[in-house]
Structure 1
């Protein structure tokens, strides 16, 4: 099966109709039907069931659709990388970003970078730390910005400065004697909203301080934490860099006075994989980050 056939099949899967898929691809229906039949013969399974509602995917078809999307994504990434392999003065730089990177990315030097290389375009993919690492392993992105803690096996890492956690407090749950700092003791028993990946880190520090961790909401994105805190559902715990994205009109933000409650934004690449010249030049801008 070639990439042209995969593109054809993706069109059929998304349009749910052979005629509409052919129109989207700019071809007539008979060649598309012929290619679909050829794929089914090659794979030995039925991929599409035609019915009154159009072309419905079989279980095998749904599996092929998911895998075809991945292959086409990787093929596109490979083509971008090869095209940019010259002097590094042009091309596309594919980056993976976590939402909590917004406090540091875009970094100040990136304005100079685009000034020096105005023909470079950024292709940004967003997700949580595990999703960004998955995109990196699949070759969809060349570099990723993720946040500790994570398993660094197979990755080369450059760590940014440690970031303390901050407490995002709605008016109904504002605690702490100091205007800009709150202790774990003051947060003890207060309903807490936080990103799931920080659970072990936060629980360990609360236990060490002999404080009660009262979790009100566990979620999968620091932006969700901020939203729930802003709407009075609890005190949100997020990295300090997230404050740039917080609507602070209805909340109070205080740094958590706990040396162990920190995370670090980390620039990662796949170990041993050669970067495009554009990516190599971009990486130079983070030379002051700790290498591991």
Structure 2
């Protein structure tokens, strides 16, 4: 729980550090100098380090004070954000909802969920940020996102998952590629010698593992010609003729120019989209999204 006395004292410390003078800091804070000095001394006792030293012209942070300045600014900024949000809530506005979304869920899953949330809570502001699965997971852990639509097949505490749909891997080929007119469906083994455009495992572990496992089951290891930063980049590089890519079936529905898609033989299951949230921050918005997802995307059998 946030200790508001500590936050207030940190604000006093910041004022002196930024003004370089107790008198000017006291004037800025609208208090007299003796109470300011007492607050700084109390903070130093609480933290167990000396934060400020007096100079001939004023005051400056000690080495320990300098080390604490960045965190002190961050805590003070978070407290200001909290107070601002509290004012908005008191005025009747609902808390804003931040949603992280992978590229491949932007068209199939995001629109119906956001529209349903807006219909249920029209007074709540919803913001969406496009990011890869790894970044979305981290945003949930840090509390920078309330919800995420991402591709993952296992929970890692404190992140919880509610699968929304299954997916298959398909191959994206540049227009004019000979395999666009080959056998249907295309045996994955026919791609053994094709240069592949892949996502780094760090940004989408489940996708990377699914692609690698599918290729190994077909008897080959993928020849990775280049790692790219997003699913959209995969399609752009394919259109440029720089390689082929195994992508989720949902990406094929984007129908990008210069790219053709083929279904692949065999049960090449990809990693479906899941609604993710942090169990440590299961807010009203999370519960609403889960309830709506249950109606929009029936549970997988």
Residue 117 of structure 2 is matched in structure 1 by: 113
Alignment CA distance shift 1:86-1:109 (3 Å): farther
**Aligned pair count?**
259
Alignment of 1:159-198 (within 5 A): 159-171=163-175, 173-178=177-182, 181-196=185-200, 197=205, 198=207
Residue 267 of structure 1 is matched in structure 2 by: 275
CA distance in structure 2 between the partners assigned to 1:96 and 1:179 by the alignment: 38
Alignment CA distance shift 1:261-1:283 (3 Å): closer
- Cα shift readout 1:174-226 (whole Å, capped 9, x = no counterpart): 41545874321221211111212333322222121113522111233212211
Which structure features the higher share of strand residues?
1
User: Which structure 1 residue ranges, 5 or more long, are not aligned?
Assistant: 10-17, 20-27, 47-57
Q: Is the 8 A contact 1:179 1:254 kept in 2?
A: no
Q: TM-score, normalised by structure 2?
A: 0.66
User: Which structure 2 residue ranges, 5 or more long, are not aligned?
Assistant: 1-5, 20-24, 30-35, 53-62
CA distance in structure 2 between the partners assigned to 1:82 and 1:182 by the alignment: 59
Alignment CA distance shift 1:112-1:138 (3 Å): closer
Q: Is the 8 A contact 1:170 1:235 kept in 2?
A: yes
- Cα shift readout 1:25-61 (whole Å, capped 9, x = no counterpart): xxx9x959xx9xx8xx987689xxxxxxxxxxx9x97
- CA drift at 1:127: 2.2
Is it true that 1:230 corresponds to 2:230 in the alignment? no
Q: Is the 8 A contact 1:168 1:229 kept in 2?
A: yes
Residue 284 of structure 1 is matched in structure 2 by: 291
Residue 134 of structure 1 is matched in structure 2 by: 138
- Cα shift readout 1:62-99 (whole Å, capped 9, x = no counterpart): 99658955984697479659966999x84311212222
CA distance in structure 2 between the partners assigned to 1:171 and 1:220 by the alignment: 22
Q: Which has the larger radius of gyration?
A: 2
Residue 264 of structure 2 is matched in structure 1 by: 256
CA distance in structure 1 between the partners assigned to 2:140 and 2:187 by the alignment: 37
Q: TM-score, normalised by structure 1?
A: 0.68
Which secondary structure state, in structure 1, belongs to the residue aligned with residue 272 of structure 2? Answer: strand
Q: Is the 8 A contact 2:196 2:226 kept in 1?
A: yes
Residue 92 of structure 1 is matched in structure 2 by: 96
Which secondary structure state, in structure 2, belongs to the residue aligned with residue 286 of structure 1? Answer: helix
Q: Is the 8 A contact 1:229 1:235 kept in 2?
A: yes
Q: CA RMSD in A?
A: 4.4
Q: Is the 8 A contact 1:159 1:267 kept in 2?
A: yes
Moved over 3 A (4+): 1-6, 41-46, 60-87, 176-181, 243-246, 288-291
Residue 213 of structure 2 is matched in structure 1 by: 204
Which secondary structure state, in structure 1, belongs to the residue aligned with residue 167 of structure 2? Answer: strand
CA distance in structure 2 between the partners assigned to 1:126 and 1:74 by the alignment: 27
1:214 to 209, 216, 223: 223
Residue 32 of structure 2 is matched in structure 1 by: none
Q: Is the 8 A contact 1:77 1:140 kept in 2?
A: no
Q: Which moved more, 1:196-205 or 1:134-143?
A: 196-205
